[in-house]
Amino acid sequence: MTQTNQQRVLGASGLEISPLGLGTNRWGVKRGQDVASIFQTFQTALDADLTFFDTAEVYTGGESERLLGECIGRDKRPVVVASKFAPLPNRLSPHALMDALDASLSRLNIETIDLYHVHWPYTLMRVDALMDMMALAVRIGKIRAVGVSNFSARQMRQAAARLARYDIPLASNEVHYSLLHRRPEVDGVLEACRELNIALIAYRPLEGGYLNGQEPVRSAAPASDRSTTAPASHARTGFLPMLRKKGPTRQEQKTILQARLNEIAQAHQKTASQVALNWLLQRDEHIIPIPGSTSPAHIADNLSALTWHLSQDEFEELDQASLSWKR
C-alpha cells in the first residue's frame, strides 16, 4: 500500500505537490463569509506543507479564485495552484480558453497557473482543439501543466495523445472518487492513470461531509460538476418494504460503512474523515484527494490523516464495506 505522507507528483509533469490538496469551491459561497477564517484555513494548510489548492473560474462566480489570490498575495509562501476552464455552451471557439485563462490569472493575481484543467468534456469544441490551445498556453508561460476533469478513460487518452505532439504530458484527470463513489476503479480511469502516469485528483473525497457522519452538503460547483454526485435522496429506500430485495438496502449499507469508519477512527483516536482520506491515499500513489474546506479546524483534521496509516486488514474491510459503490 502507498505511504500516506509521501509527496506526490502531478503525473509526468514533474510538479511535486503535497499528498492532499485543498478544494475551494465553497470559498466565498456565503455572503459576507469570514475572509479572516478563509485566510486562516489557507495558512493552516501551508503551515503543514499542504501546498496544492484547487479552484475554478466557475466556483462562486470567480470569488473562489479571487479569495485564493488574496491569500497567496498576503502570505507569499510558494503554492501550487490548479484552476479550470469551463467549456460552457456559449463558448464555441477554443480561443475562449485563452480569454478565460487571462481572467483567471487576473482574479488569482498571479502570472502562471501551475495546473490548468478543462473542467468537463461535454462541449461542441473538439478535445484536440482544446489541447492545442492548452499547448499554446504552456508555450507562452501562462500555465505550467495541463489537466482534464470528468474525462472518461477514452477522452483522457485522446487528450494525452494530442498533447504528446507538443511533448507535453497530460498531468491529471480530476474526477469524483470516494468510498461512496468508486467508479474510477471500474471505468478504466484509474487504470489509464497508472498506465500513462497521470495523477488522479480525487474530488468530493468526503462525499460532501457524509463520510464524517454529517448530512451531505450540496456542492457549490455548477450542475456539470455535480453530474456524478449521488444526491442524498438516492440513499433512500423504496416505498414498500415487501418489494425490497433481500440483503441490506443502500441506506443500511451506508450506515454499516459509516459505523465501520467510526470504529476504525476510534481505534486510532482519529476521525472518520481521516479514515476516508487514508483509504484513498493508501490505494495508489497517483491519487491526490482534495477535500473541500472553509474551516481551519477541518483542514487541520484532514491533514492529520498524513500522520498515520490504516492496517492492511482495515483497508480491505473498508473495501468490502463499500463494494456496492464500486460500479
Q: Which residues contribute to the site for ligand NAP (CB under 6 A)?
A: 23-26, 54, 149-150, 174, 203-209, 212, 217, 219, 221, 225, 273, 290-295, 298, 301-302
* Burial status of residue 242 (CB atoms within 10 A of its CB: 0-12, 13-18, 19 or more): exposed
Q: Nearest approach, Cβ of 22 to ligand NAP (angstroms)? A: 8
Q: Which is nearer to ligand NAP, 212 or 282 (CB)?
A: 212
Q: Which is nearer to ligand NAP, 89 or 141 (CB)?
A: 89
Query: Which of 189, 181, 186 lies closest to 121, judged by CA?
Result: 189
Which residues, at least 6 apart from 31, have a Cβ–Cβ distance to it below 8 Å?
Answer: none
The three grid cell numbers given for residue 164, joined into one nine-digit string:
504528446
Q: Nearest approach, Cβ of 31 to ligand NAP (angstroms)? A: 16
Tell me, what amino acid is at 290? Answer: I
Q: Which is nearer to ligand NAP, 25 or 165 (CB)?
A: 25
Q: Which is nearer to ligand NAP, 301 or 314 (CB)?
A: 301
Q: Which is nearer to ligand NAP, 94 or 292 (CB)?
A: 292
The C-alpha cell 477514452 sits at 154
Neighbours of 182 (CB within 10 A): 20
Query: Which phi and psi (to 5°) does residue 215 adopt?
Result: -70, 140
Residues linked to residue 149 through DSSP beta bridges, in sequence order:
174
H runs (alpha helix) in the chain: 35-47, 63-75, 95-108, 127-139, 153-164, 183-186, 189-196, 250-268, 272-283, 296-303, 312-321
Active site residues: 59
